């Protein structure tokens, strides 16, 4: 992350605490985002989309229903991320905005890197290379892929709104395209 982007996101976190939620903590948000990512990615992998109604926006859910039905099993398996297999998490873009009716929203894009043992080819469509990590010796070697995912979380901060974060964008590059 560039120093400018880092400062910009820290400024937005300060604005969130000052004007929307005095208890907001990026560390606590990140812990919750990792848990949500793990749960949602596993449900996607298992095609249990009906269980995502409260977690994912209806628009995203509709797109996912179409994409998941077309995925080969190996790509579907690669969507699942155990919370312990998440190697790195960082915040991407943070946005604060108001719609035409004065409703206040905050969106935070989270980027996840996770290990997955799905049986993926070395090259996936589009010519992109999938990073592989091998654990163990020759007799017990286990191959894992280092995959990425981007999930955008949005919350309405208008007075009286439910204090829940909703996932408004799900991207698993090279898997859900």
pLDDT in tens, 27-45: 999 999 999 999 999 999 9
**Least confident residue range of 34-38, 72-76, 121-125:** 121-125
The values of phi and psi at residue 82, to 5°, are -65, 145
Q: 163 or 138: which carries more pLDDT confidence?
A: 163
Contact 116, 34 (CB under 8 A): no
Phi, psi of 89 (to 5 degrees): -135, 140
Place of tokens 């960082």: 90
Q: Which positions ≥6 away from 88 have C-beta within 8 Å?
A: 112, 113
For residues 112 and 81, is the Cβ–Cβ distance under 8 A? Answer: yes
Residue 7 has pLDDT above 80, yes or no: yes
Q: What tokens does 40 get?
A: 């949602």
- pTM score: 0.87
Q: pLDDT band at 20, cuts 50/70/90?
A: very high
Cβ atoms of 115 and 146 closer than 8 Å: yes
Convert the pLDDT of each residue in 144-161 to its tens digit.
888 999 999 999 998 888
DSSP letter at 22 equals T
Q: Strand pairing partners for 1?
A: none
Domain ranges, ordered by start, for the chain:
3-171
The pLDDT of residue 55 is 95
Residues 6 or more apart in contact with residue 71 via CB below 8 angstroms: 175, 176
8 exposed, middle or buried (CB, 10 Å; 0-12, 13-18, 19+)? middle
pLDDT band of residue 128 (cuts 50, 70, 90) is very low
According to DSSP H, which parts of the chain are helical? 3-19, 26-45, 58-70, 73-79
């Amino acid at each position: 992350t560039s120093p400018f982007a880092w400062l910009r996101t820290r400024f937005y976190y300060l604005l969130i605490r000052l004007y929307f939620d005095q208890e907001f903590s990026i560390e606590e948000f990140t812990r919750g985002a990792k848990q949500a990512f793990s749960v949602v990615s596993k449900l996607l992998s298992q095609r249990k989309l009906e269980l995502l109604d409260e977690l994912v926006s209806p628009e995203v859910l509709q797109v996912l229903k179409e994409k998941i039905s077309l995925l080969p099993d190996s790509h579907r398996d690669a969507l699942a991320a155990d919370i312990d297999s998440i190697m790195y998490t960082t915040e991407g873009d943070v946005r604060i905005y108001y719609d035409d009716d004065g409703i206040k929203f905050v969106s935070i894009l989270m980027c996840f890197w996770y290990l997955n043992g799905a049986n993926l080819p070395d090259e996936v469509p589009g010519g992109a290379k999938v990073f592989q990590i091998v654990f163990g010796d020759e007799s017990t070697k286990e191959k894992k892929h280092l995959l990425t995912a981007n999930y955008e979380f949005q919350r309405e901060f208008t007075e009286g709104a439910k204090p829940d974060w909703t996932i408004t964008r799900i991207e698993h590059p090279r898997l859900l395209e």
